[in-house]
Amino acid sequence: MARPSIPKPTARLLSGRLGPWWELFYRFGPPRWTTYMRHNWAGKRLVIAVPYLWLLLFFLGPFIIVFKISFSEVRLAMPPYAPLWQWVTEKAIDVHLNLGNYLFLLTDDLYVSSYLYSLKVAAISTVFCLLIAYPMAYAMARSSPATRNIYLMLIILPFWTSFLLRVYAWIGLLKNNGVINNVLLALGVIDEPITMMQTDFAVFIGIVYSYLPFMILPLYSNLEKHDFTLLEAAADLGAGPVTSFLRVTLPLSVPGIIAGSLLVFIPAVGEYVIPSLLGSSDQLMIGRVLSDEFFANRDWPVASAVAIAMLLLLMVPIMLFQHFQSRELAGAK
């Protein structure tokens, strides 16, 4: 694009007095000014700015508020916590930093055990998701492009129904006079109904069922990119089907496995609805504890401390996820 390289003499005179904006205006003129903006500023930064602003406003803001509340003391008032600081006089601030909420998390057995229980449930569910999803994703990636799309549709189809509704449907299936027990009784396989509701089993079923697509999709998108000739090469070099899978397909699908596992594990740790509806009330998951603290106990400071602690614990897998995702992206280039 040809730009007038020598500004007019008047512009040079004016620019001294009126500052750089005139300089800009005279160099590029009114129509070129927008070009300048488009080239140097507007597009790139605007596109990035929108999600950043969104996150700042609706994620970082509330996070800071929760962080602040976690250091205050509970109080029977509206809002139900003491302010962190008060103006004592005009020039002095009285700050109350209460670390007791965090200490309380460690001293009361309930929190640690529900943390561990949540991690256990999430980990086991993730493993089962992986075991079920891998063959499915592999079969999808190996099928013809037309059937592939049908399979993808079928994987995504359940999302068209409300998540809550689908979990309720599992109650109908699992309860003592539910579909599964009735069928088994009618077939004579069992004499009395198996108790499946309010057990860990039901929680695993619910989580594995709900989160399976989040495991299948990243695995599928990884496996689909695999070069089939690599398996032919492995076979040609004397590797049987099992060895080929273990030494070629599996290592190459590690980024997909990690992405899928984190997509299942992270939300499963904080899962609230599924354990509340399907699980027992003896052992609570941390999401349930959190909501109980907020809404039943109305102890906002402790609830905030639980939330912050959970977030910090989950930071590790989230950062791992970030790391592998960026590696996956770099590998795709």
Partner 1 sequence: MAERRNDNKKEPWRDPSAQAYVQIENVTKRFGDFVAVNNVSLKIYQHEIFCLLGGSGCGKTTLLRMLAGFEPPSSGRILIDGKDMADTPPYERPTNMMFQSYALFPHMSVAKNVSFGLEQEKLPKAQIASRVEEILDIVKMREFAGRKPHQLSGGQRQRVALARALAKRPKLLLLDEPLGALDKKLREQTQFELINIQERLGVTFVVVTHDQEEAMTLASRIGVMNRGEIVQVGTPSEIYEFPGTRFVADFIGSVNMFEGQLIEDLPDRVRIRSAELGGVVYVDHGISAAPGAVVWAAIRPEKINISRTAPADAAENCVSGVVKEIAYMGDLSIYLVKIASGKMVRVTLPNTERLSDHERILWDENVFLSWHSSSPVVLSQ
Here the tokens at position 146 are 């037309």
Q: How far is the CB of 233 from partner 1 (least distance, A)?
A: 4
Going by C-alpha positions, the residue among 58, 65, 55 that lies closest to residue 304 is 65
Give min distance, CB of 323 to partner 1, in A.
17
The crossing angle, in degrees rounded to 10, of helices 100-107 and 109-142 is 80
| Contact window for partner 1 (CB under 8 A) among 5-13, 88-96, 246-254, 283-291 | 246-254
Question: Considering beta carbons, is residue 161 or 243 the nearer one to partner 1?
Answer: 243
Is residue 252 part of the contact set for partner 1 (CB under 8 A)?
yes
Q: Could you say whether residue 247 binds partner 1 (CB under 8 A)?
A: yes
Does the protein bind partner 1 through residue 236 (CB under 8 A)?
yes
State which of residues 157, 232, 315, 322 lies at the interface with partner 1 (CB under 8 A).
Answer: 232
Nearer to partner 1, 196 or 248 (CB): 248
Q: Which residues of 110-130 are buried (b: 16+ CB within 10 A; e: fewer)?
A: ebeebbebbbebbebbbebbb
Q: How far is the CB of 47 from partner 1 (least distance, A)?
A: 30
240 binds partner 1, rule: CB under 8 A: yes
CA distance 154 to 165: 18
Burial 39-52 (b: 16+ CB within 10 A, else e): eeeeeeeeeeeeee
Could you tell me where the beta strands, DSSP code E, fall in the chain?
85-87, 93-95
Q: Which of 3, 40, 227, 329 binds partner 1 (CB under 8 A)?
A: 227
Point out which residues bind partner 1 (CB under 8 A). Answer: 227, 229-230, 232-240, 243, 247-248, 251-252
